Each structure stands twice: as C-alpha cells, then as structure tokens.
C-alpha cells in the first residue's frame, strides 16, 4: 500500500478519499488554493500545500503545481477525485511518468480511448454492448445527417466526439435543421474540447439515466456493483441519485451489469469507473464511460457494503479485489440528495455566503459526506455543493420516509439551499412512484411549485454574529410548562434569541443573565440590584428580612411598554427595598439591596 497520498481535489470528495486513506494507514496530503486556506479538506489532511490563486485554472487545474507539491511532500500516489483533472488523460500520463508516483485511476491509455466517444462506441460494439443506433465514424456533411434521418427517422442527436455531460450535443428534428445543427455541434466541439469531430445517434425523447459502477483490478477481475439511477437532473446537473434503479427489473439489471463488465474488460480498464446507459421502453443503450470516482458513488456503497474509494486505492497499489461477482449483493435502497447552496426559486442560481447555521441530521440509515462546518463561507470560485445527504433503508418506500425525516432536520441558514426542492420531490407523485425520466424536472416541475417550496422550507432569515454564527428572531417560550416556538417580529428585541441580552430590566452590572417573557432582564452579583433603564415600578415582590436563594423575581419594572422581571442574582437576605409600587426609577437607581 502507499505511504502518502496527495488528493488533487477539494471539498467533500477530498475528505472522503482521506478518510479511506486513514483507514488504510496511508498519510494524506492536501493541495489548496488561496481561497481554501482554511477549507475542510485542508484541516483534515496531515499536510497541505498551496498550489495557486483561487481560480481553478491556476490552482486545482495547475498540473505542474500539483506535481511539485507531490514531490515536496514525498507523496507516492495521487488521487484526482472527480471534476478538475480527474478525466484529463494528459495529467494521468504525467503522473504515470513521474518517478515514484502512482495514478489512482485507470491507465491514461484507457482514459484517452474512452474519452473519445466514437472509439468508446466501437469498443462497446466489439464487446456486444448495445449502443444507440447511429454512426461510429465522424460525420462531416449535412447530406450525411439527412441520409441518417431517412434511415433512423427523426429526431437525431449530433454529438461532439470529445463531448459529455450534455455539452456539444444538438438535436435535429427535421431534414431542414440538419445543416445548422451540424455546424453548431462542430463549433461547440471545437470550443469546449478542441475537437470538431461529431457523430450522429438516434435521439431518444425521454430516457432514464442509468449507470453501472465498475471495479476492476490488475489481475483480471472485473466487477459490477449494480446500477444507479440519476434521472432526476436539471440541465444535465444531477441532483438526486439512487440505487437500485426503480426502472429496472431483475433481468434487465443482470443484463445491463454484465454488459458494463464486458465493455470495460474490452477496454482493458482498471480501477473504478462508471458505464452510463440510456434506458427506454425496457431497452438499454451505452452512452459513455466516466473514468473516475463519481459524486454519487455512496448510494452504491450503501446498498453493496463495498467501500469503492478503498478499493480504488487497493487496486492502484496492485492488490486484488477481495470479492468476486457472486459475492456482490444489492441490499435495500439508497438515495443521495445533493445539498447545494442554490436557490430553487431562482433557477437554482448559486447563493454564495457564510454558513450561518449548519446542523446536518444523523441517526439510523443517514450518512453525510461533507467538508464544511458552521461559519465557513461558500465561495463563488467552485461548485456550490455544501454536502451530500445519503439515506439508506430496506425498501425504496421506507427510504423516502427516512429521507423526509432527515431533510426536515437538516438545518442550514445564511444561504438558500436545495433542501426545499428535495422536500418537494418527496411529495411528488411521479418521483415517489419512480416514474420520472431525464425530462421530468426541466419540463414538468413548474416554477410556482419551487417558489412555494422555498417559501415553506427555505432557510430562515438570520443575522450573522461576529463569530459567524446565526441569530434569528425565533425564540422558545414555556407557557404552563409546555414549550412553544414563537417568531418575534422585527422591532421587538432579537436579543432573546441569544445574541446580546437587551438590558431593559435591572442590573448591578454583574455577571449572569436570565430572560423572561418580556424578553429582557439582567441580574447582578453585587449587593444592590439597580435599574437598567428609566421606567416605572409595577410591583415589588420582596420585603426586608426575606431570605432569597437567587433567581426569584424581586420586582417588575415597566420600561418601553414592556414588563421586565428583575431577578435576584444570588442568594441573600433582603436588607432594604428603596422603591415602592408606582415609583418612577432612573437608570442606576437601587431597587433591592441584599446582604
């Protein structure tokens, strides 16, 4: 096994990888940008190195700086996580070629072959994996596109060879659109991937997105760990994922898993990977291979019990997978909810800012993968993920119930989040029935529903205290021994919610504070309790000679139209009561003298 691993990433996935390292006895090295000096992944690591300015292009994507950090730290392995450099075959090659450093991932060769979509389609066809009807060679003229339209019927999809994740894809609905769609797909391919080659597929109108988790070692074992369903997406951004897919029956599950195994075996693939399929009307079609650990890997871990990141590390170190395909069993159901700092009522626009409150749920079947803590800032430099909430239960139905419980308890303030969206989905009949397709969120869930959800379940208004934590205008009160939560409208003292006690009652300037229903009193530890502000004595509750144990209401003062209990700060005997009911008092006047 490795001695020291550098994680070329940030956030929850960097922490997730370091957790696996820790369990394997591997030392951890973080890299960070100027914006992440005190980030969670940096706090977690054994050591950490600055790799550049906030902009990802100058830090987390800076190959040289990362390799230099690995060198300085004496790291013998690099794990890229997801995003950033994870699918960059050139970086993988640079790591492979660096003396004494192992790349935790598939070979750069396999990454390159599968990154090129026409090559990937050919590999899959050779392995007898169904692909969407279409071409495996680049298409160059609009005439060719129209011929394919005749052959397969419309709509068609023109896709960039270097594409993926929805970029560089154009839909052609009729022969007339062929020319424009072709040139714009080429343009996007050139701009995004520096590759203007495109190919054509029949376009499926409303497929499900189903992907199979693969693990392969260097000794010939290729496992599939079942599938995940990621059909609930917004503009190609996954937002809820689950395992197993509610769209497959056991026969199809077996078929798709075996197809994925054949495909990656054909590609000479090792380490962890995901084979993505489109599923429509009981048929499945290969779409692409993701040559990295994915955000949604935990749902697979929860239903198989296999630690995918641990196995990535073991495989990269040349070890054998500890199980065979027969040992892989899918048990129960898992859902993952991406908790992002985004406002569902505003087109899921990012909502950067400080996390004034962060209190994630726990309990049976609830897992949180995160790297932030309360008071941390969600910056605008990287993605907006705060945490992943992963919920497991014996059945999908029970998983939905448990998820509702967990999401309700998930407290975030300071930024709007996707929590209200998730709570809405748990009430959505189509989602609950597991019948949603990749079109569902963009086309069927309307903005009014989203706005209502945010109004109902969105982040509370907060003021941020100097320590970065929140104060709100919610207070709890006890009436007749029963606890109530009330909202104090603006204009009333917020102090009772915990910031700075408003000293409206009486005090001798001592320590200790107690509040009452009026929201403001102050007690003291001196021998005279004095009025904190100008007011009128409403009642006097003690008389000279009385023994107090502390905490008793000694008098009530009306100030600013509120009744304020003045409380005995400590035990003692009442020596003197210089005021009487109805007296006007000024700030600083003695009310009760104790001995």
Question: Is residue 132 a contact point for ligand MV4 (CB under 6 A)?
Answer: yes
Tell me the window of 33-41, 108-116, 164-172, 516-524 that interacts with ligand MV4 (CB under 6 A): 164-172
- For the record, the structure tokens of 216 come out as 């392969």
User: Taking the alpha carbons of 512, 515, 516, 518 in that order, is the dihedral positive or negative?
Assistant: positive
- Residue nearer to ligand MV4 on the CB measure, 43 or 236: 236
Q: Shortest gap between Cβ of 289 and ligand MV4 (angstroms)? A: 11
Q: Which of 201, 227, 229, 563 binds ligand MV4 (CB under 6 A)?
A: 201
- Taking the C-alpha atoms of residue 299 and residue 297, their distance in angstroms, rounded to an integer, is 6
Three-class SS state of 566: strand
CA distance linking residue 347 with residue 71, whole number of Å: 43
Dihedral, CA of residue 437, residue 440, residue 442 and residue 446, to nearest 10 = -170
| Minimum distance from residue 131 beta carbon to ligand MV4 (Å) | 9
Q: Which of 207, 458, 506, 569 binds ligand MV4 (CB under 6 A)?
A: 207
Secondary structure E strands in 351-473: 353-354, 357-359, 366-370, 377-378, 385-393, 411-413, 463-464, 470-471
Does residue 288 touch ligand MV4 according to CB under 6 A? yes
Given the complex with ligand MV4, which of 158 and 356 has the nearer CB atom? 158
Interface residue with ligand MV4, options 15, 39, 89, 204 (CB under 6 A):
204
> Within 10 Å of residue 335's Cβ, how many Cβ atoms?
26
Chain residues 394-413 in contact with ligand MV4, contact rule CB under 6 A: none
In 248-342, which residue ranges form alpha helices assigned H by DSSP? 250-266, 297-304, 308-316
Interface with ligand MV4 (CB under 6 A), residue total: 18
Confirm or reject binding of residue 438 to ligand MV4 (CB under 6 A).
Answer: yes
Closest to 15 in 3D by CA, of 43, 57, 51, 49: 43
Q: Collapsing DSSP states into helix, strand and coil, what is residue 42?
A: helix
**Which of 11, 40, 52, 164 touches ligand MV4 by CB under 6 A?**
164
Which residue's CB is nearer to ligand MV4, number 164 or number 506? Answer: 164
173 binds ligand MV4 (CB under 6 A): no
Q: Judged by CB under 6 A, which stretch of 159-167, 179-187, 257-265, 328-336 contacts ligand MV4? A: 159-167
Closest distance between ligand MV4 and the C-beta of residue 341, in Å? 23
Q: How far is the CB of 399 from ligand MV4 (least distance, A)?
A: 22
Among 153, 166, 347, 380, binds ligand MV4 (CB under 6 A): 166
* Per-residue 3-state assignment (H helix, E strand, C coil) for 443-466: HHCCHHHHHHHHHHHCCCCCEECC
Under rule CB under 6 A, residue 273 binds ligand MV4: no
**Where would I find the beta strands (DSSP E) of 183-317?**
198-202, 208-216, 222-234, 237-243, 271-280, 283-290
The site string for ligand MV4 over 220-249 (x = CB under 6 A, - otherwise) reads -------------x--x-------------
Per CB under 6 A, the segment of 157-165, 338-346, 372-380, 412-420 that binds ligand MV4 is 157-165
Q: For residue 106, give the nearest of 114, 98, 117 by alpha carbon.
A: 114
Per CB under 6 A, 274 contacts ligand MV4? no
In whole angstroms, what is the distance from residue 321 CA to residue 552 CA? 69
348's tokens? 């899921």
Position with the least CB separation from ligand MV4: 438
User: Taking CB under 6 A as the rule, does residue 212 contact ligand MV4?
Assistant: no
Nearest alpha-carbon partner for 79 in 175, 5, 184, 12: 5
Report in angstroms how near the CB of residue 167 gets to ligand MV4 at its nearest: 8
153 scored as a contact of ligand MV4 (CB under 6 A): no
- The region of 66-74, 204-212, 242-250, 384-392 touching ligand MV4 under the rule CB under 6 A is 204-212
In the bound state with ligand MV4, the residue whose beta carbon lies nearer, of 201 and 370, is 201
Instruction: State CA 267 to chain mean position distance.
Output: 32
Contact (CB, 8 A) for 488 and 496: yes
388 binding ligand MV4? (CB under 6 A): no
Half-sphere exposure of 148 (CA within 13 A, CB side): 26
Q: Which is nearer to ligand MV4, 418 or 508 (CB)?
A: 418
Any contact of residue 287 with ligand MV4 (CB under 6 A)?
A: yes
- Asked if 67 and 29 touch (Cβ cutoff 8 Å), the reply is no
Q: Which residues are paired to 353 by β-bridges?
A: 378
For the CB of residue 152, give the shortest distance to ligand MV4 in the complex, in Å.
10
User: In sequence order, what are the residues at sequence separation of 6 or more whose Cβ sits closer than 8 angstroms to the Cβ of residue 430?
Assistant: 436, 440, 444
Q: What does the binding site for ligand MV4 look like in residue numbers (CB under 6 A)?
A: 132, 157, 164-166, 169, 201-204, 207, 209, 233, 236, 278, 287-288, 438
């Amino acid at each position: 096994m490795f001695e020291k691993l550098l994680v070329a990433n940030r956030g929850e996935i960097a922490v997730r990888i370091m957790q696996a390292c820790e369990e394997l006895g591997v030392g951890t090295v973080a890299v960070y940008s100027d914006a992440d000096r005190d980030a969670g992944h940096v706090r977690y690591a054994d050591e950490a190195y600055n790799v550049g300015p906030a902009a990802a292009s100058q830090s987390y994507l800076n190959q040289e700086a990362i390799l230099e950090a690995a060198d300085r730290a004496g790291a013998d392995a690099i794990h890229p996580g997801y995003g950033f450099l994870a699918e960059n075959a050139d970086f993988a090659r640079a790591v492979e070629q660096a003396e004494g450093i192992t790349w935790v991932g598939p070979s750069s060769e396999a990454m390159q072959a599968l990154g090129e979509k026409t090559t990937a389609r050919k590999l899959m066809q050779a392995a007898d994996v169904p692909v969407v009807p279409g071409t495996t060679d680049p298409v160059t003229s609009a005439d060719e596109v129209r011929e394919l339209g005749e052959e397969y019927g419309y709509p068609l999809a023109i896709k960039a060879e270097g594409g993926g994740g929805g970029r560089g894809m154009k839909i052609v609905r009729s022969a007339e659109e062929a020319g424009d769609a072709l040139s714009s797909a080429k343009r996007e391919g050139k701009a995004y991937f520096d590759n203007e080659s495109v190919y054509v597929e029949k376009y499926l109108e409303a497929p499900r997105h189903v992907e199979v988790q693969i693990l392969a070692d260097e000794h010939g074992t290729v496992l599939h760990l079942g599938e995940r369903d990621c059909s609930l997406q917004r503009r190609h951004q996954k937002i809820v994922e689950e395992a197993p897919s509610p769209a497959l029956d056991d026969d199809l599950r077996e078929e798709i898993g075996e197809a994925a195994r054949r495909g990656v075996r054909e590609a000479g693939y090792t380490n962890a990977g995901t084979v993505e399929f489109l599923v429509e009307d009981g048929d499945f079609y290969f779409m692409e291979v993701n040559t990295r650990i994915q955000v949604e890997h935990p749902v697979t871990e929860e239903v198989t019990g296999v630690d995918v990141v641990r196995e990535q590390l073991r495989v990269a170190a040349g070890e054998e997978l500890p199980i065979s395909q027969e040992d892989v069993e899918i048990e129960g159901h898992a859902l993952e909810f991406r908790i992002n700092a985004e406002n569902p009522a505003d087109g899921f626009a990012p909502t950067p800012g400080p996390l004034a409150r962060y209190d994630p749920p726990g309990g049976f079947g609830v897992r949180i993968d995160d790297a932030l803590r309360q008071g941390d800032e969600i910056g605008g430099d990287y993605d907006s993920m705060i945490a992943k909430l992963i919920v497991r239960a014996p059945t999908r139905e029970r998983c939905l119930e448990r998820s509702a419980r967990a999401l309700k308890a998930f407290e975030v303030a300071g930024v709007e989040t996707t929590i209200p969206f998730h709570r809405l989905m748990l009430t959505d009949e189509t989602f609950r029935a597991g019948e949603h397709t990749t079109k569902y969120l963009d086309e069927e869930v309307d903005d009014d529903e989203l706005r209502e959800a945010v109004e109902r379940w969105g982040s509370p208004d907060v003021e941020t205290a100097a320590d970065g934590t929140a104060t709100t205008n919610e207070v709890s009160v006890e009436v007749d021994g029963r606890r109530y939560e009330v909202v104090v409208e603006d204009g009333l003292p917020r102090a009772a919610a915990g910031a700075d006690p408003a000293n409206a009652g009486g005090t001798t300037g001592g320590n200790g504070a107690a509040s009452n229903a009026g929201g403001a009193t102050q007690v003291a530890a001196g021998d005279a309790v004095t009025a904190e502000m100008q007011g009128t004595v409403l009642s006097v509750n003690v008389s000279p000679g009385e023994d107090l144990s502390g905490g008793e209401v000694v008098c009530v003062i009306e100030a600013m139209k509120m009744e304020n209990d003045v409380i005995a700060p400590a035990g003692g005997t009442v020596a003197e009561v210089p005021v009487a009911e109805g007296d006007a008092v000024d700030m600083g006047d003695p009310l009760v003298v104790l001995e």
